[in-house]
């Protein structure tokens, strides 16, 4: 099983890196660019066979290490 995790800044947290990317895209001539938010994508191979247990474990990994829940949200997708 594989866990696919997205870690993103909470909507009300300013994202200076996303803003810089937005400006860079604009200066490259790309039009119609709205707000850009930058985050992280993490993949973890899991030995666990039980989907529910796997998801529970990954949740713990996210809240303990992978995301700083003061400023970040995370979403978990468990794929076969």
Partner 1 sequence: MKVSVIVFPGSNCDRDIKVALTASLGSAPDMVWHGVTKLPETDLIVVPGGFSYGDYLRAGAMAAHSPVMREVVVRANAGVPVLGICNGFQILTEAGLLPGVLMRNAALKFICKDVFLKVENANTIFTSGYYQGQVIRIPIAHHDGNYETDCETLDILESNGQIAFRYCDKMGELTEDANCNGSLANIAGITNHSHNVLGMMPHPERQIDLLQGGTDGKALFDGLLNSVV
> For residue 61, what are the CA distances in angstroms to 7, 13, 78?
12, 22, 14
Interface region with partner 1, contact rule CB under 8 A, candidates 29-37, 43-51, 53-61, 68-76: 68-76
When the beta carbons of 21 and 51 are compared against partner 1, the nearer one is: 21
**Which residues between 36 and 65 bind partner 1 (CB under 8 A)?**
64-65
The verdict on 24 binding partner 1 (CB under 8 A) reads no
* By CB under 8 A, residue 75 contacts partner 1: no
Strand partners, 5: 42, 76
Helix, strand, coil % over all residues of the chain, rounded to 5: 35, 30, 35
């Amino acid at each position: 099983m594989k866990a696919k995790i997205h870690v993103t800044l909470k909507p009300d947290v300013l994202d200076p890196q996303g803003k810089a990317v937005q400006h860079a895209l604009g200066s490259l001539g790309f039009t119609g660019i709205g707000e850009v938010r930058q985050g992280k994508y993490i993949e973890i191979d899991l030995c666990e066979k039980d989907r529910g247990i796997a998801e529970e474990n990954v949740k713990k990994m996210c809240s303990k290490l992978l995301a700083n829940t003061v400023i970040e949200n995370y979403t978990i997708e468990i794929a076969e």
